[in-house]
Amino acid sequence: MEMTVAEALVECLERENVEVVFGYPGGAVLPLYDALYHSTRIKHVLVRHEQGGAHAADGYARVSGKVGVCIGTSGPGATNLVTGIANAYMDSVPLVVITGQVPTIQVGTDAFQEVDITGITLPITKHNYLLKDPAKLATVVKNAFHIAATGRPGPVLIDIPKDVAQARISFKYPSTVRLRGYKPTYKGHPNKIAEIARLMTKAKRPVIYAGGGVIASEASEELLKLAEAISAPVTNTFMGLAGFPGDHPLFLGMLGLHGTRYANLAITECDLLIGIGARFDDRVVMNINSFAPHATVVHIDIDPAEIGKVIATHVPLVGDVKTILKELLPLIEKIDRSEWLSRIQSLKALYPLGYEHGASLKPQFIIEELWNCTKGDAIIVTDVGQHQMWVAHYYHFKKPRTLISSGGLGCMGFGLPASVGAALAAPSGSKVVLVTGDGSIQMTIQELATMMEQCLSVKIILLNNSALGMVRQLQEYYCQGRHMATNFEFHPDFEILAKAYGIPAYTFRTEEEVLKGLGQVLESPGPALVNCIVSPEENVLPMVPAGKGIGETVECAK
């Protein structure tokens, strides 16, 4: 078939079973948008800012397990995508990002709306392409989707000059991918698997430390079987939440900087730490010298670059988590560890999560009531800040792909556009709830228009403390309470603002209003925004102070 490169690109997307793309048009991508006009299989979602497009594609990918696709024009359109690309890269989310570029003859001349987007994104993509040869379009797209979705997932960018997009080619889509330098390891080494099985049998105080790789690999079922077989408690990274049932007796909650004290103490006391699909990042490890000081460390991950990068690993094993756990399970005998589990239960009893009810509405109470209303039967999207940590502690995730949040990059403004993508990917009848803060939502609030244009029934719970709460908390601990540029002296009326977009909105100030109204809002048809007025003085606890070990947790205000 003979067609333009732009038409061929649309054909490629259809061959990759892409159903939704998120984008914002511009001059350099006019040929692509003209080709999209004729597609009957691809739904284009017009976002209100390119960053929103990247985050929406990210949210879509996390819920669906498919590759998310977004489009931006050259220059500022491309640079506006950068934050979303970096976010996906840090959290191992598969994206294919398509950008327009000035004509090839103008590349390198500082032409109008020209930037070197492949150079800019080189450190934050798995791979990227500047397409100069029109004939290579189909191969580049096939490779891009393969790279994005396989191994450790991540974003791939394709930059297409306008004249290349307009060139005519003879189209043939390749049936296979041939990349000599890219061959992810999936099967684990048999000797290492056998060694891990022996260590599990010998250990008296094992702990499983599971991250987002469990979810990416669809290995939650195998993780549950392993934990129950060896009677080992499980703690999740933030990105790993929803990879293990939050109401299971073996669950320790999240570990690390704001982890539960009993999870952190279990790590400190364990004699075998089994890291699965996690990268031992700084928010988990804190002080390297005091992290799991008595443990033999096993690390299972598909990315060899992560193993031994932070913590010395005694038994490294590169491979796909699901594949390895399936190979490991037949070697495991069911083990009774009553003494260790009794110790875990005593730690839970000594250091439970909790907060003091007071005159003001507590954010923790709101998240607890959200859990009571949904019982885990919802997709929860968050922004970044204190509310994100309260969700981690007080909402008990039971199923994979039900927590959608920015982990590694910690990107405020992620939540609202990600909830758009999440809602478009969610199974029919699913509840999608965005928990956000008054700082985060204002960074991408224009995507309320996208949400309404797409007729999405996202319920927004806004924890409004008139402050940048997490930064304010840090200033309280590390700046002797000097709160600089963290208290908002002016706010819009969020209830009126939501109604300006045609969204029903409510303001809650008391626990009674939450108990009376939240369930009704969640069960109501269509979108809604709940503006919850909470105190700026409320801090996220527990917390490990800077420089301290993971077991040195602060549980009350300074």
Q: Residue 98: what residue type? A: I
Cis peptide before 542 (omega within 30 of 0): yes
Extended beta strands in 172-308, E state: 206-210, 234-236, 251-254, 272-276, 296-301
Given 7, 11, 16, 50, which residue is catalytic? 50
Domains 2-170 and 363-533 share a fold: yes
Given 1, 43, 112, 345, which residue is catalytic? 112
Looking at 3.40.50.300, 3.40.1380.20, 3.40.50.1220, 1.10.10.60, the CATH number of the domain 190-350 comes to: 3.40.50.1220
Residue 145 has a pLDDT of: 98
Residue 480 has a pLDDT of: 94
Closest alpha carbon to 450 in 70, 114, 67, 132: 70
CA distance 261 to 254: 9
Q: At what angle do helices 386-394 and 363-374 cross, to 10 degrees?
A: 50
Extended beta strands in 394-457, E state: 403-404, 432-437
Given 126, 162, 192, 322, which residue is catalytic? 162
CA distance 185 to 173: 26
Residue 333 is classified by DSSP as P
Annotation: CATH topology of 2-170: Rossmann fold (3.40.50)
CA distance 130 to 406: 28
Active site residue 183: no
pTM, full prediction: 0.97
Domain borders along the chain are 2-170, 190-350, 363-533
Active site residue 470: yes
Active site residue 112: yes
Structure tokens at 519: 């369930």
Given 348, 470, 508, 538, which residue is catalytic? 470
Residue 9 has a pLDDT of: 98
List phi, psi (to 5°) of 225: -60, -40
CA distance 250 to 532: 33
Active site residue 50: yes
Annotation: CATH topology of 363-533: Rossmann fold (3.40.50)
Per-residue pLDDT of the chain (558 residues; tens, 9 = 90+): 899 999 999 999 999 999 999 999 999 999 999 999 999 999 999 999 999 999 999 999 999 999 999 999 999 999 999 999 999 999 999 999 999 999 999 999 999 999 999 999 999 999 999 999 999 999 999 999 999 999 999 999 999 999 999 999 999 999 999 899 999 999 999 999 999 999 999 999 999 999 999 999 999 999 999 999 999 999 999 999 999 999 999 999 999 999 999 999 999 999 999 999 999 999 999 999 999 999 999 999 999 999 999 999 999 999 999 999 999 999 998 888 999 999 999 999 999 999 998 889 999 999 999 999 999 999 999 999 999 999 999 999 999 999 999 999 999 999 999 999 999 999 999 999 999 999 999 999 999 999 999 999 999 999 999 999 999 999 999 999 999 999 999 999 999 999 999 999 999 999 999 999 999 999 999 999 999 999 999 999 999 999 999 999 887 543
Residue 8 has a pLDDT of: 98
Residue 558 has a pLDDT of: 38
Residue 314 has a pLDDT of: 97
Given 3, 19, 106, 113, which residue is catalytic? 113
- Residue 531 in contact with residue 507, Cβ under 8 Å? yes
CA distance 65 to 401: 8
